[in-house]
Chain A
Amino acid sequence: MDDSAHIRVQLRSDPCYLAGVRQLVAGVCQRIGMGDTACSQVALAVDEALANVIRHGYGRAADRPIWLSLWPLEKGDGHGPGIRLEIEDEAKQIDVSELKGRALDDPKPGGLGVHIIREVMDEVVYDKRSPCGMRLTMVKYAPCDDPECGPGH
């Protein structure tokens, strides 16, 4: 079975494109019937992931490549339709065990992105690409008891 992405886009690591990517992701999630809340959460997670690549991976350089790939997921037992996303870069590789959200009991500016991603997505996996860069794989399913949960695609 062909597992190639249904959508794959390459963008430059320029924060000005985050709004466009959010619209793309939210639009796809809406089309496959995920409901408004889940669509907003997926768009937020993608925004945070891209911002982390730009900020930490590329040191705010605005001319480096980032790839975003999407696969719709069928409804299953206990969940509605969903989406799998991969975000890949050519940034410096890091120890994935260091990617933890920081403690939230002391409000400080910054460091919230990883926490937000883990909070809103169902599966979050960071790994190293070969020969360089990092890959973030995220999965989100719409809850089947969500009244917004649509008919799928």
Chain B
Amino acid sequence: MQDNSLPVDIDRRPGATILSPRGDVDMSRAPSFRERVREAQAGRPARLVIDMGAVEYMDSSGLATLVEAMRNARTEGVELVLCALNPRVKAIFEIARLHQFFRIVPTVADAVEA
């Protein structure tokens, strides 16, 4: 049986929760990623940081998950920050013209302190 779960590390700090998905986020793994993001948002952190440093590849399924997270964050008053996008992942944000709608910073430290 294939495993479609996406490993996601969770680091809860005062004032911020940091999610660190690892691996490819495509149609098979986006549902698992979405579940982890919703769980983190349900805790209503002041800031939700998604550390993309270990995401090697993402397609529009992953983008859709992040767009949904952004819309939920706005509704729930959670500040969503993305960080450490590799050039390939950054490129898909730009192709989809989504980079302008997200707060994207270079590092986890930047995201926590931003």
The docked-state distance in angstroms from the alpha carbon of A22 to that of B67 is: 24
B31: min CB distance to chain A, Å: 9
Contact B26 A47 (CB under 8 A): yes
Q: Is the CB of A116 within 8 A of B92?
A: yes
Interface 1/0 per residue, B75-114 and A, CB below 8 Å:
0000000000000100110011110010000000000000
Q: Could you say which residues of chain B place their CB within 8 Å of the CB of A47?
A: 26-27, 59
Chain A residue total in the interface (Cβ 8 A): 24
A25 interface hit (Cβ, 8 Å): no
- Counting chain B CB atoms within 10 Å of each CB, the highest count among A48, A51, A107, A108 belongs to A107
How many residues of B sit at the interface, in one of the four size bands? 20 to 34
A55 partner, pick from B4, B27, B65, B67, beta carbons under 8 A: B27
Interface residues in B35-69 (C-beta closer than 8 Å to A)? 57, 59-61, 63-65, 67-68
Query: Which residues on the A side are within 8 Å of B98 (C-beta)?
Result: 104, 107
Check B60 against A113 for contact (C-beta < 8 Å): yes
Residue A19, interface by CB 8 Å = yes
Q: Determine the distance from Cα of A40 to Cα of B26 in the docked complex, in whole angstroms.
A: 14
Q: Which residue of A lies closest to B100 (CB)?
A: A107
Contact A112 B28 (CB under 8 A): no
10 contacts between A and B (CB under 8 A): A14-B2, A15-B27, A18-B26, A18-B27, A51-B26, A107-B70, A109-B71, A115-B95, A116-B95, A120-B95
